[in-house]
Structure 1
Amino acid sequence: MEVPDTRRIVLLGKSGNGKSSLANTIFGETMFKVNHFNDKNKCVSRAETRCINGRSLTFIDTPGLFDPGKSEEDMKPEMMRCNIECAPGPHVFLIVLKVEKFTEQEQSVITRIFQHFSDDALKHAVVVFTHGDQIPEQMKIEEYVGQSRGLKDLVEKCEGRCHIFDNKYWKGNQQDDYRSNQYQVEELLNTIDTIMRENTGGHYTNAELQEMETEIQDEEEHIRKSSQNLSQEQIRKQAISNIIKKQLDSGVQLWKKCAVGLAVVTGVSAAVSAGLLTLKDVPLPGVVETITEKAIMVSPLMVVEELTPQTAAAVELPAVVMEQVAVATEETLQDGVVAILNYMQNLFEKSYDPFDPFQ
């Protein structure tokens, strides 16, 4: 059976701040892959559960979720994966920052986090610093925070809760207990206990998390009817796994549809550009009216942008391919379309990750 008092803890922060390493430090073993090269395309939210000092903890790592430059549209698939892993909602948010100058970029990440989760998340939030070896000897994190107005305001919003770790240098026994990860882990666990008490064991939630929990429970019921010998913990894990698989499968189908749609539209526009077709010959009801013949004649890519703006933004056809299409004649039109299809196939093979098809 699932442990009833398991704490669900979500790690938030910019890529490179040490979220995965922090979780590994708290677990005392390597559970999350540490991405030293900051390859965001290969990162997905993951959850791991372990019993630490008598407490059952589930950490949900969210690599690069709120990184600067990442659009709301880019965030949607990864946020959905995060919601699946932490439904019906996290008990604690760990806002992970490096010991470094608190710039406008870091502030923008914090702002985006709470714009998404709302101010209610502050009741469950703790600020955790990594790279603790960067603070001067004998200085504690509270003093460091007090030197920056931005950090001070953030920690005050989190009701003064902040801790510091060093995932590289504070591993062994230290003469200074404060500069010991073992000491800091116990302090953080005590803070988590305090948050649980102050919120009477409740967790943060919102409409998206509630909707996801309903979907998981429906899947649990389906599994329960077909596999009566499974424990509740096994049923829960299977339900989450099934929903993630559905998400992955839908991503693959979406990718294929976009690829085919892009090739078809570009091929049609090439035919119009080459004078092989006219607008009235194009069988695209409801779409032809929105595109002028001038736009098609000027640039086939404009048609792609008009018809599928998200696809055009996500799949940047190289200039050499577009040139093949733009100058296509009756004899070379087929070659141009084939070039596009080959490019799309190569792109798919190089970029598709079964664990993250939305990259």
Structure 2
Amino acid sequence: MNNMQRGETRCVWRVWRATKSFIWDCKNKCSRLYEETLRLTSATVCAQWLHRRVCRIIPRKCWVPLMLSCVLTWTIAAWYYGGLHSEMKNETLKSELRIVLMGKAGTGKSSIRSAILGQKKFVSNLTEQSVTKECSKEKVKRNGRGIMLVDAPGYSDTDLPPETVAKELCRCVRISSLGPHAILLVLHPGHYITEERKTVEALFENFGELMMKYVIFLFSYREDFGHEEMTVEYSVKDLKDERLQELIEKCGNRYYAFHNRASKEDKEKQVSELITMIDKMVEENNDTYYSNEICIQAEALIKKKKEELEREKQKLHQEFNTTFKKIQEENRAKEEELRILKQEKAEKQQQNQIRGDNLCPREIFWKCIWDQITNWFGW
């Protein structure tokens, strides 16, 4: 009876999770559809209203005034659409800004997060242990503007498997409502090791090149770059990793160096400059954002690669087993052949011994000489 109840509970839980995921996807799709159709709907309603008003005043037989009214209607509708688009664009820039913060453990990501949120709430360190183990979302208002910050777990944690980190990164995109306007990738140039390089490259490979439209490289601990007069541009160009420079170029050369040990006033100034850079990127992307569909495609790609690796692993395992069995059979055949040779040699020695017992001393002497001659010449 208890087993049946547990089975029913698991079934209900699975149905609930599937229903919850379906409702979440429908919500995101409807929200995007509303945003895209709002402008066109407003302009269309304006044109239809003007056309109905003009047709009531001007008779249908007067085609010249009717033609002029159509041109006037189109002009006013276009003007209204342009004004509406500009107004909505400004409202978008002033609306809530959704940001995802990503980075390796120990790069000062938590310190940057605290600066953006304007509160000292998270511990910052330079060790390989991450402060954040799973996605977390925080909302704050800066200068009357809402900011949603989603912090992803450190993707190089030794106690978290890569599959779990990838799922958490996709979860960060999901919990940021419609999707993030910007993805801040925190790096420490002085600690950019081989493992982190592979992770960053795999990140772009799995999540698609479209992700590059929304990425800003955020270099932490600007104070460690060298002298204060050394520019950030020079420091980035001086990076020894050519692959990282190539990724920065593909992302539109968007990068910012953050002074983690700066005073509170300087951090506020840095955050304002960073938000200005994000707003500029949002404007260049036509107010779009990194949608959940892209993340779903990335998850499917990761799953596909994982299945391919599993198939390749099974194939190599089968080849190894086949080769191992073949070697075992060859060894058994050689052992059997060696055993037969030893047995034949023993029988031959036994026959020679029996034959020698029946020989006289003279015959034994000449037999020994003959055996020596045959051994010398290999007969």
Structure number, greater radius of gyration:
2
Structure with the bigger percentage of helix:
2
Q: TM-score, normalised by structure 1?
A: 0.50
